[in-house]
Amino acid sequence: MTSEAALEWLSSTQFFGIKLGLDNTRQLLAHLGNPERKLRIIHVAGTNGKGSVCAMCDAVFRSAGRRTGLYTSPHLYELRERMRVSGEMIPRSELAALLTSLHECCATWAHEPTFFELTTVLALSHFSRSQCEIVLLETGMGGRLDATNAVTPAVSVISPIALDHSEWLGNSIVEIAREKAGIIKPGIPVVSARQLPEAEAVLREVAQQNASPITFVEHPYEGKIGLVGDHQKWNAALAIAAIESEGTTSPLAIEEGLRTVQWPGRFQRLTDRLIVDGAHTPHAAATLVETWR
């Protein structure tokens, strides 16, 4: 398929909506030779701050000289933003080639894979082909049945949990926390932000069931950060905990990465009186108001 035809097909899959589950993702990954098995991954779930934590980790690892893969959603301007290797978006030619292969794989399926399943597989394949040394993988929604959960990470990270996507994840903090905790894998270390007591209890329970060591961030980062707001100090502390758990401990890389990190759409100041922010949950909106004040 041409680049235009490939993107048109991918865009059309959005009409199939959300389908939670891992079967499609695993089948697509197998079709491409299971690229995820060649990657060292930090997997990030939570309600708010996931993208900021991923961006911070990406900036630190790049400052340390490592080749990174960054997968986030949604995009602001174009799809290719979701899949970056050391800051560079996936080339259009590779995007078209991978989409063509995936289209051939699922052409006879009774139900086509969803948009998010396809983009997740695209990203993992691109990162493997690009020989990324470390990948920052942000969940789309929830965790347990999210397409990104088809991987086995080096570290599982959980940002602050609040009520979100209740029609899919549950109507209480406990229910939602249990879905987010679904990214915890047997024996894989877990780092978590400060949580509401009921969410923390769930995370500790699931970590214990999986014999996974779990650490909760206790203090905000006090150094300079390229992102605005006190909440970003806590996100930075979570990012540092994830980075150190993965094995990178360069203080200079941490300082440089956090000082220079950029993440559009998160209290992004365009002019003195115009700020753009993507807050879309009550928890995020309250944080936005606090930061504005």
- CB count, 10 Å around CB of 281? 14
> What sign does the dihedral 14-20-22-27 (CA atoms) show?
negative
Task: Check residue 72 and give its pLDDT.
Answer: 97
Q: Taking 90 as the threshold, does the pLDDT of residue 7 lie above it? A: no
Alpha helices in 165-261 (DSSP H): 166-169, 173-180, 197-209, 230-246, 251-260
Give the pLDDT of residue 21: 80
Alpha-carbon separation of residue 176 from 111, 141, 143, 237, 273 (angstroms): 28, 10, 9, 23, 36
Token pair in block for residue 66: 């490592």
At residue 281, the pLDDT reads 79
pLDDT in tens, 100-157: 999 988 888 877 899 999 999 999 999 999 999 999 999 998 899 999 999 999 999 9
Residue 168 has pLDDT above 70, yes or no: no
- Partner residues linked to 99 by β-bridges: none
Q: 284 pLDDT band (50/70/90 cuts)?
A: confident
Check whether the bond before 74 is cis (ω within 30° of 0). yes
Q: Is the pLDDT of residue 169 over 80?
A: no
Token readout for 248 is 């990178």
Query: Can you tell me the distance from the alpha carbon of 184 to that of 155, in angstroms, rounded to the nearest whole number?
Result: 9
Q: Could you report the per-residue pLDDT of 16-68, keeping only the tens digit for each?
A: 666 678 999 999 999 999 999 999 999 999 998 999 999 999 999 999 999 99
Coil, helix or strand for 215? strand
283 in Cβ contact with 163 (< 8 Å) = yes
pLDDT at 36: 97
Structure tokens at 44: 């990030």
Q: Of 13 and 39, which is predicted with more confidence?
A: 39
- Is the CA virtual torsion 191, 197, 199, 205 positive or negative? positive
Of residues 287 and 83, which shows the higher confidence score? 83
DSSP H or E run through 274: strand 274-276
Q: What is the pLDDT of residue 58?
A: 98
Q: What's the pLDDT tens digit per position in 186-241?
A: 999 999 999 999 999 999 999 999 999 999 999 999 999 999 989 999 999 999 99
pLDDT of 46 reads 95
DSSP 84-110: EETTEEPPHHHHHHHHHHHHHHHTT-S
The Cα–Cα gap between 174 and 186 comes to: 21
State residue 130's pLDDT score.
97
Evaluate whether 122 touches 83 at the Cβ level (below 8 Å): yes
- Look at the pTM and tell me if it is higher than 0.75: yes
* pLDDT above 90 for 280: no
Q: How far apart are CA 86 and CA 94, in angstroms?
A: 16
Report the range of poorest mean pLDDT among 22-31, 55-64, 83-92, 170-179.
Answer: 170-179
Strand partners, 21: none
Half-sphere exposure of 111 (CA within 13 A, CB side): 11
